[in-house]
A and B are shown apart, each in its own frame.
Chain A
């Protein structure tokens, strides 16, 4: 197992470098660029533009710029934003806690909904509950999050005035736990309703597979009650696809949910990405991409390791 992990990590590094190279090339191929923020200002002359371009290193050939970026990353320097003139790592560090807060609460709520609903749906297949749950899951999975989010704002914030429309806390007032919770409800609901729908579908399908197996029938035949059978025998085997899904979704805990953060004015990583993208702030974009790519690779590895733990038949060498 140890050598397996070591080998995977060793494979991941060149992959990561390759990904940053591709992303960098794509970014540089898009129209616009950091200089476009100065275009509309008639006092910014060609002389000023040339000076600014040189200052930001944009006058160098693109491969040279990439090599410089990679070189300083290797020494731990993530670069400075072209727009805010601040260290990229500092900007990411400000947003990360907000995103982790939003996404972990969402994750907990998602699982709290998905696991019981998916389980009951499977063991009571074709009951009214199953029908209701699968239809809702289907509908929920089809509705875009921005639509759900906007509807929730229209109903609960603008219409009923029960909850705030956006932000993380009430401005100009001392912060309290209750206040923070009120601001979490709508964005978490938007994300959790959406995410829960496909976990429900996964879990239900996997459980339905498993509970038809002979060993489950044997367990029933031994006289075990349903709860024990499901918990001890069925669920553990059914969990493998769910774990895959969860592990691959884990990077989102850090990268955030762009649309939900945008709709609810949540100052997280998703919005940082959008702002950097709209201003074509290469160092910030590259920083976010590098973090996100590393997490995806790490979480894939994590999923493989968890498989081995869940199913002793799986062996890695």
Chain B
């Protein structure tokens, strides 16, 4: 009997503890399952804007250096997830790229301003420097000639060709072939020149080959699913892989032959795998680790008044939003884009909802004023148009609803033609920040005569797929709230969320993420154009049209920009925040001031 009782004790406890991390994961990843990529996935790193200076731009000067960087020492970084492996083509986890950033390198990467800079490429190819043909289908990439792999072998164009072979090898479960499947050929012109020929123009072509694998490390075979390399990578990055103790830590050490002279500064970086963010925070407080990766907004007050610890909080790419369903939320026609939501299909109602929400109060009170109010699906970067923040005007909202025929009933809730403005409002359960925001919004919309019924469900159900019968996929919801974000090239993100072909239906087996069921021919046209012209300026203009149409449709109401939060001991110097990449993207510039 004892055993059973003990067992149940542990199980109940498990439920309590299990709930917490799940909530945090949801809070941050928003759109993600446990392995939550909050950032641009690896395969989708940078994009060209101007012709940037080649190399040497890997890292800007330290933000607030206390004197010149000192060399030496060890930094311990707590990561609350363990990478599945370190092969970039076999998993999409953010934490995987945090560790890989120290070890591996790619052709081109985004800098903090959202511009493309060369890493292993000698320069960013463009139509101006002859790297990109007029039709955009032929791209010639010149490589740096001074780069060595960690085992001393030279880095050459053959490695790019090999990496392409790995991605396309049918025996490999690579997570995505997007972009690569549009390639017709990858040709080695000479040791340091490679030519990519596309079958069709692929707009985010500069995001390809964000990570390169060493051809010589696989014995010539491109079949890599079970390769030892996946846990013992060889790269070109600032640090060399040393060891990985499962569930405990991953150690990397200075690469003395790193191609940026004088860097990195640290002797060693140890990624300490902790089971949760809370454990990482405890270890940061005791000084067992120096940095904690990826905290949530609600944890910022944990460090109030700390003399030794800095909270690094910067607006990131994720935009917390309401998703409004335009189709019928129940019955036979549920989710059918041809059907109409009795309340939300009225654009005046959607407009009134946005006018009725005081976004500033949420930012000031719930996010400590540390972030910015949301107004657009693309918060920052080369493609981000300037979109004014919506005003908070409850009186205007009431008038809009009055004029549209939505009259308040005896309980103050508006109705029109028998349809009552009572809507269910779902987000991930157990998320403190989201629950508080819900209460604020519920209160504010009640004031204009719209009732919200909060019915939160676990993130796995809320953010599930067609196969899981998730409400967002099947269209069986009124209002959802979660976070998602574009990569540095917004093409995939905007297309999948707002193009009319991306509405999940029985016919397309639930493909696409146009959960709001928005159908706007002008928007479709703008998105198609933005994805098909090689000229970056024309793309930017098309995105401006697309974003304006999205904002005006109010199928997503952008509440606030999520924060990237990390914690660190004050002696950790040299770091720069890069919303386009993960913590440690500039690990070669970090140093210890102690």
Contact = CB atoms under 8 A, between A and B. Distances in A.
Task: Output the residue of A165, A244, A245 with the most chain B CB within 10 A.
Answer: A165
Contacts of A15: none
B494 to A, nearest CB: 9
B496 interface: yes
Nearest to A56: B173
Contacts, number: 207
Given A39-B463, A44-B178, A245-B3, A278 B22 contact: yes
B10 interface: yes
Nearest to B275: A262
B5 interface: yes
Interface string B11-30: 01110111001100000010
B511 A43 contact: no
Given A85-B90, A166-B283, A259 B248 contact: no
B9 A144 contact: yes
Contact of B279 (A84, A166, A202): A166
B131 interface: no
Contact of A274 (B177, B275, B511): B275
A248 B35 CA distance: 35
| Candidate in A33, A42, A271 with the most chain B CB atoms within 10 angstroms | A42
Contact of A37 (B17, B34, B246, B274): B34
A206 to B, nearest CB: 12
Nearest to B287: A161
Contact of A85 (B9, B32, B230): B230
Contact of A249 (B6, B34, B465, B468): B6
A214 interface: no
B431 to A, nearest CB: 16
A198 B2 contact: yes
Interface in B433-488: 458, 460-461, 463-465, 467-468, 470, 484, 487
Contacts of B179: 43
B85 interface: yes
Interface stretch (B37-45, B344-352, B391-399, B564-572): B37-45
Interface string A32-63: 11011111111111111001100110000000
A279 interface: yes
B10 A42 contact: no
B288 interface: yes
Interface residues of A, number: 68
A157 B463 CA distance: 37
B339 interface: no
B464 A32 contact: yes
A56 B32 CA distance: 20
Nearest to B38: A40
A179 interface: no
A31 B468 contact: yes
Interface in A228-286: 244-245, 248-249, 257-259, 261-265, 267-268, 271-272, 274-275, 278-279
Interface in B477-506: 484, 487, 492-493, 496
Nearest first, the 10 A-B pairs at minimum CB distance are: A267-B247, A248-B3, A36-B33, A40-B32, A42-B492, A43-B178, A32-B460, A245-B2, A46-B511, A262-B275
Given A39-B465, A40-B29, A259-B10, 20 more contacts: A40-B33, A40-B92, A41-B175, A43-B176, A44-B175, A56-B173, A94-B246, A95-B246, A98-B247, A145-B9, A145-B10, A145-B13, A146-B17, A166-B288, A167-B248, A172-B268, A245-B3, A249-B2, A249-B6, A263-B275
